[in-house]
Structure 1
Amino acid sequence: MKFLYYTIFLLFLSPVVLAQENTIDAVMEHARREVEKGNYDAALSLIEPLIAKFPENEDVKIYSGRIYSWKKDYTTSITILAPMADRTNPSPDALLAIINVYYWSEQFDTCINYCDRYLAIEPNSLDVLRIKVNCLEKLNRDEEALAIIEKVSITDNSTQAFRGIRTLIGKKDKNAVSASYLNISTSNPGQSPLHYAYVEYSHKFTKSALVGRANLGHVNGDTQMLFEADYYQTFSKKNYLYVNGGLSTGETVFPVAKAGVEYYFVPHKKFDYALGVRYMHFEADDVTLLTGQLAFHTGSNTIAYRPYYDTTNELFSHVLSFQNTNEEKERIIRLELQYGNVPYLYLYNSLTQPLSSYRVGIQYQHRFGDSFFVRPVFLYEYEEYVPDEYRNRFNVQVILTKRF
């Protein structure tokens, strides 16, 4: 007889439970569609009656907490999620949701605590490990972040998920040393190759940077040096000032003295721009160059135009560049088109008459490991070396940089 009663009870109960589940599923599906459209308030108006009707349903509560976080009402989201995340046996889904809330609201210390609670349940969760590493990086706890990355790379045999964080940490390095060699050769007619090299050391401070550079040039059997320094000062809103100065040991290979200043203005939407002046003192003449830049950024690509105006010789020169940058890998591919008498690095002649040059150049930067860079540069010129007479000029350079 009891079996008959139980059977009748279950037959009566099953349609009720099924109807409740169908009701919840239908409402939740409707709410998700509203969320996809960005209608968070509409979604909440659908879900909140479900919470009142089915208070034991944690999935509905967690989803409502997520919606409040998506609409950036972090306080309400935490109020909803915390009871399910803070109990002795926390809900993993509630922990995941509240981790995102604390990360998005930039409460990184608290976020790390909840990451540790979740990792006690799922120690190999790459998503949570990545969030924890990001929090550590934001708090400048870089050694702890790198230790986690190394551990994951050993156990998972992959650091793909952490490459961007590695790059961010690497860019915080304060020091760098670079060495470069430049060879300039000509043909039709040819002359003895010109040789240039430099070594430099740079150090970053909180809002500034200082670079010291020693240049060596060997031209027509004569060897001279140029010692120079660069200074960068960052101001608020991402604008900064660049200052350069240098003195040489001779009068023919390099300018006797050089100086420059350029101000980079606050970027405006996808555009940034700069204005500057360069001055070079030669043995028999002085050269003043007015310059600037207008750049347009679209995704990982940049198109930039930089003119030079030689006030002494009344010459205009132009550089149009196209650059693709992979921020995560710190990889750069750059193409330049030049016309006129554009200064290549520290090289610039004290001209007494206008001569034309057409140039096309390409350079590529590749990072090996976390902090070693190789940048080869090639620039071809069709150079007017005397009026109405042209020759080929090849500039080949390689730059090696170690950051630490």
Structure 2
Amino acid sequence: MRFIYFSIILLFISITAVGQEINFDETFANAKSEAEKGNYDKALSLIEPLRIKFPQNEDVKIFTGRIYSWKKDYKSAIAILSPLADRVNPEPDALLAIINVYYWSEQFDTCILYCDKYLAVDPNSIDVLKIKVTCLEKLGRDKEALEIIDHASVNENSTQAFKGIRTLIGRKTKNAVSASYLNVSTSNPGQAPLHYGYVEYAHKFSKSALVGRANIGHVNNDTQMLFEADYYQTFAKKDYLYVNAGVSTGETIFPVTKIGAEYYFRPQKRFDYALGARFMHFETDDVTLLTGQISYKTGSNAIAYRPYYDTGNELFSHVLSFQHTNEEKERVIRLELQYGNVPYLYLYNNFTQPLKAYRVGLQYQHRIGDSFFVRPIFLYEYEEYLPGEYRNRFNAQIIITKRF
């Protein structure tokens, strides 16, 4: 009888043990499911009994640390993960988890230290290398970041994982030089082509930028130059002020003198606004343009409307643009629809009567390597050159830029 009694007790204990094992797997799976749904407190309530019952189970510890990191309770996550990541033979999954904790909490110096620990075991981990390179970029250690990218690209025969970081570093370059040529031709009736070009040098400071530009124009066997300077000053929330001034060597091809300013601001996340004015002194007249812009951005696409108002001639002009930008490749495709006397870059005439013009323009920017840019621009105009008389006008431009 006693044997039967003990056998029943042993059988009950065995069944209970099996039930506990099943309960562990089921509870762990439920905790993962709740964490995936973003129910972090629920996941923690499920995982906590497992931590108490199985205090040596490292999978439970690591997952608990991950939950706290997803919950942005970085202090608790570090307290749980550090003993596993700091020992002589660190647990790789714990290292990966704590790397993410320090990266998400923007403790970039410490994150790099744990990246180095992991890379000592797995030196070709692209995910960890990418986090380390990103941390170096955030800390301004761009040279070290580029050295790692170049070495990793050789080993992996691919630079795909690092293209975005290369772009961020490239945009930090302080200097750029550009050269441009613009040809303006007409037909029905036609006239001799107009030729314009410029070279410019730009330099970035911490919160500002300065551009110097020398323009040259050849029109009707006459050649004149315009010297310009642009200044950009950035403020909080990515607002910035643009100021332009120039003086020419002649009185007909370019304005004798010119000055302008425009303020760009972003009171809402997806909308950009601008307000500005331009003044141009010609040989026989002065022109004042009031302008501004409203732009809406969604993802990689933006649509913008810009009006111009010529105060002296009481002329309204309009530009509607559509732009697609690939930030990683720094590639731009832009379509413009224009109506009225819209200034083409630095070109604007002192009209004395409201002549109409309808325009459609397309431009494309392509990056070659890390620092060369080519931007072709084509603009077609159906231009009223005399009251009631129209002709075709073709503007073809190429801009080449090198940043360094």
Is the CA contact (8 Å cut-off) linking 1:238 and 1:267 kept in structure 2? no
Distance 1:206 1:165 in 2: 20
Q: 1:174 to 1:118 in 2, by over 3 A?
A: same
**Structure 1, residues 84-139: CA drift from partner, whole Å, max 9, x if none?**
00011110000000000000001011000000000111111000000000001011
In the other structure, the counterpart of 1:308 is 308
Pair 1:253-2:264 in alignment = no
Distance 1:18 1:366 in 2: 64
The Cα of 1:20 is off from its aligned counterpart by: 4.0
Distance 2:346 2:109 in 1: 48
Distance 2:265 2:247 in 1: 28
Q: 1:332 to 1:267 in 2, by over 3 A?
A: farther
**Structure 1, residues 299-353: CA drift from partner, whole Å, max 9, x if none?**
0000000000000100000000000000000000000000000000010010000
One-letter amino acid of the counterpart of residue 357, structure 1: A
**Structure 1, residues 379-400: CA drift from partner, whole Å, max 9, x if none?**
0000000001000000000000
Distance 1:100 1:80 in 2: 14
TM-score (norm 2): 0.96
In the other structure, the counterpart of 2:3 is none
Gaps of at least 5 residues in structure 2 are 1-10
In the other structure, the counterpart of 1:395 is 395
Distance 2:244 2:340 in 1: 23
One-letter amino acid of the counterpart of residue 118, structure 1: Y
In the other structure, the counterpart of 2:134 is 134
Is the CA contact (8 Å cut-off) linking 1:180 and 1:400 kept in structure 2? yes
The Cα of 1:265 is off from its aligned counterpart by: 1.3
Pair 1:322-2:307 in alignment = no
One-letter amino acid of the counterpart of residue 175, structure 1: N
Find the residue that maps to 2:94 and give its secondary structure: helix
Find the residue that maps to 1:41 and give its secondary structure: helix
In the other structure, the counterpart of 1:52 is 52
Find the residue that maps to 2:110 and give its secondary structure: helix
One-letter amino acid of the counterpart of residue 298, structure 2: T
One-letter amino acid of the counterpart of residue 96, structure 2: L
The Cα of 1:34 is off from its aligned counterpart by: 1.5
Distance 1:327 1:20 in 2: 53
In the other structure, the counterpart of 1:6 is none
Q: 1:220 to 1:18 in 2, by over 3 A?
A: farther
In the other structure, the counterpart of 1:184 is 184
In the other structure, the counterpart of 1:5 is none
Q: 1:399 to 1:152 in 2, by over 3 A?
A: same
- CA RMSD after TM alignment: 1.5
- The count of corresponding residues between Structure 1 and Structure 2 is 395
Find the residue that maps to 2:192 and give its secondary structure: coil
One-letter amino acid of the counterpart of residue 173, structure 2: D
Pair 1:225-2:262 in alignment = no
Pair 1:214-2:214 in alignment = yes
Of all paired residues, the percent bearing the same amino acid is 77
Gaps of at least 5 residues in structure 1 are 1-10
One-letter amino acid of the counterpart of residue 334, structure 1: R
Q: 1:176 to 1:381 in 2, by over 3 A?
A: same
One-letter amino acid of the counterpart of residue 232, structure 2: Y
**Structure 1, residues 262-310: CA drift from partner, whole Å, max 9, x if none?**
0011341210101000110000000000000000000000000000000
One-letter amino acid of the counterpart of residue 366, structure 2: H
One-letter amino acid of the counterpart of residue 200, structure 2: E
The Cα of 1:17 is off from its aligned counterpart by: 6.5
